Amino acid sequence: MRIVLQRVTEASVSVEGVVAGAIRQGFVALVGVGAGDGPEQAEALAAKTAELRVFADAAGKFNRSLLDLGGETMVISQFTLLADVRKGRRPSFTKAADPVIAAGLVKRYAAALEERGVPVARGRFGAKMLVRLANDGPVTIVLDSADLERPRRGGG
């Protein structure tokens, strides 16, 4: 799974002109599910999202997580995060999961956030959505489940 987290002061998602979800301070999570991903990846990335310390403390340092500040997350499915653009001019999406599997794993990610105490708003899987957000910082972090298993540079 690949997730792009954008720290926001507010965000909303509309489908067919109707607001489907809105949040205040927290993250917009754009979620791409790859072939071979499973519930373990969804749960691990939800834990990382909830606990990632990228919100400022009183001294202005990145020391607070969503859980610390009572932040929210808006979860938006986005298979285009799995685009392969190495050849030609049209992206290939063959690395993206089957839509039925992907829909279930996006739901699992959102549910795992809620289980950790993070309020979640959702877009609609497979729909054309209009996402509005006020990017805070801007702070944008890419989470990839494959990276969670790799050692950091320098072996530590």
Give the whole-angstrom CA distance, residue 104 versus residue 96. Answer: 14
Per the residue annotation, which of 78, 93, 94, 140 is the catalytic one?
Answer: 78
Q: 79 an active-site residue?
A: yes
Amino acid at 110: A
Element (H, E) at 66: helix 66-69
| Catalytic entry in 27, 80, 94, 140 | 80
Distances (CA, A) of 104 to 4, 62, 98, 109: 18, 32, 10, 9
| Choice among 79, 93, 94, 125 that is catalytic | 79
> Residue 20 corresponds to which amino acid?
A
**What is the C-alpha separation between 98 and 119, in angstroms, rounded?**
27
Which residues form the catalytic set? 78-80
